[in-house]
A and B are shown apart, each in its own frame.
Chain A
Amino acid sequence: MTESHETSNESSAEAPAVTIDARGLLCPAPVIELAKAAAELKAGLIELVADDPAAETDIPAWCRMRNARLVHRESQSNSTRYTILIGTQAHG
């Protein structure tokens, strides 16, 4: 069963600049991978796939602390796909 949760209408159609497969990684590793990618990319969309249940709260919390925006979250059978907008566009 696929459950789609639209956090924002914009940006989710664009292709992400970076995709991170964080499946099999446990807290705090998925967020560290996200932070590393964000530090390199500076601005743009990052897609991250994780199966750690803790990521469901950790990714939104990281976005809040880093002024990034979780623009899309999609639950798949065994994992969740997060699309995160970082950089200046995220602040609006």
Chain B
Amino acid sequence: MSASATGSPTDPAVAAVNSPNLDRYLDAASGLPMTPATQQALNAAWGLGWADASRRYPSARQSRRLLDSARNSVAEYLGITSAGIFFLPDFAAAFELAISGYSDRHIAVNAVEDAAILQAIELRHDSTSSKLSVSGDGHIDVGAAAHVAHREPTAFVVQDVNLEIGCRQPLKSLAQHLDAESAVIVDARATLGRDRVSDDWDLLISDPKMWGGPPGSALLAIRAPERFPAARTSVGGFGGLEPASPPVPLIAAAALALEAATPQAGSAQAISTFLRSEIIDQIQDCEIVGHPESSFITMFSFLYVAADELIDELAQLGWSCASGASCTSDTQRPHHVLTEVGASSHGSLRVSVPPQLTENQAAHFVSDLTRVVAKLRLEAGAPNP
């Protein structure tokens, strides 16, 4: 083994963890970086949890203990039994496992769900499916959903908070309209670890990178695993539902990051509210898409502005934001969420606030944004309002 691979803890290459600079990061809905504490925990976990957790020798048992501890911690966080916590290789696998339990039900997905999930449902052959249309503010119609469930047992797939426009779906009201034959699968990527998570779900899926855990695993939580009718496979460990040899270090770090993420959630929403009122106040011809309520995600639309230029100009000033506009997508079509709610896609700017962004930084962003929008409108020859 080379000397560099056996460096002591004082070796800067080993001890150093990168402290991510989030000063101008406004794309928290795409994910959060690991904090130095999570990076350190992950570093330690590589050493502790490397062995195959399904084996019986000491290092394997150590892996197993790390995995069990992660499972218990996430279960406690969600208030369910640890038998209902499953770690999968990625978000798509977690979603596939979730709907595999409902092959005899109708699948109803909200029309503003993630494109990959919409496509996965469309490609299924063993169950019928339909889309729940949404109102102009992005909410599903609970009455219409109840009607679908009344006709036949249905598994609903709904984001509790929409990742593009930040609207909060009425999950409590939906749950009240459903009988035991129907189920709710909630995509909690926007909320778990940073926001109030609804309790009104049967299954919950999320991705640790969204709460500052390492990428490379995904979570499926099942409130009543004893009733989950999933087909059991012959391969795989832990009830046959998980991969036989899960990436224990990633899972351990994800669970630690989730525990640590809890206290920070409220401020991002307050900063978001501040941003919405300031931007609407200071920039003319600006719309907020949908109804973002108390979430940390807001989609703005600026009339007469090309979104790709807007994102690039902001990036030059150090700001990281996303967009839902056609000119920023590979397909050259507006984001389907914008189309569903009838919103303009041009000048579309998604601002999603990470924990710990200060009001000063937010005010700085508003002032930069105001100048950039004015400049781009002038250059494009847009008429004065």
Interface residues of A (CB under 8 A from B): 26-29, 31-32, 35-36, 38-39, 52-54, 56-58, 60-62, 65
Which residues of chain B are near A28, meaning CB under 8 Å?
303-306, 346-347, 380, 382
Q: How far is the CA of A27 from the CA of B381 in the complex (A)?
A: 13
Which residues of chain B are near A35, meaning CB under 8 Å?
303-304, 382-383
Partner of B344 from A26, A52, A58 at Cβ < 8 Å: A58
Q: How far is the CA of A8 from the CA of B334 in the complex (A)?
A: 26
Q: What number of B residues sit within 8 Å (CB to CB) of A? A: 26
**Smallest beta-carbon distance A51→chain B, Å:** 11
Interface of chain B, main secondary structure? loop
Q: How far is the CA of A65 from the CA of B286 in the complex (A)?
A: 9
Interchain CB contact under 8 A, A53 and B304 = no
Q: How far is the CA of A31 from the CA of B380 in the complex (A)?
A: 11
Q: How far is the CA of A32 from the CA of B380 in the complex (A)?
A: 8
**Given A54-B345, A57-B342, A61-B342, does the pair A27, B327 have CB atoms closer than 8 Å?**
yes
Which residues of chain A are near B383, meaning CB under 8 Å?
32, 35-36, 38-39
**Given A36-B383, A65-B285, does the pair A57, B327 have CB atoms closer than 8 Å?**
no
Interface residues of B (CB under 8 A from A): 285, 287, 301, 303-307, 325-327, 332-334, 338-339, 342-347, 380-383
Interface of chain A, main secondary structure? helix
Partner of B325 from A27, A29, A31, A32 at Cβ < 8 Å: A27
**Given A27-B345, A35-B304, does the pair A54, B380 have CB atoms closer than 8 Å?**
no
Q: How far is the CA of A39 from the CA of B384 in the complex (A)?
A: 9
Which residues of chain B are near A29, meaning CB under 8 Å?
380
Q: How far is the CA of A58 from the CA of B218 in the complex (A)?
A: 36
Interchain CB contact under 8 A, B381 and A53 = no
Interchain CB contact under 8 A, B333 and A61 = no
Which residues of chain A are near B382, meaning CB under 8 Å?
28, 32, 35
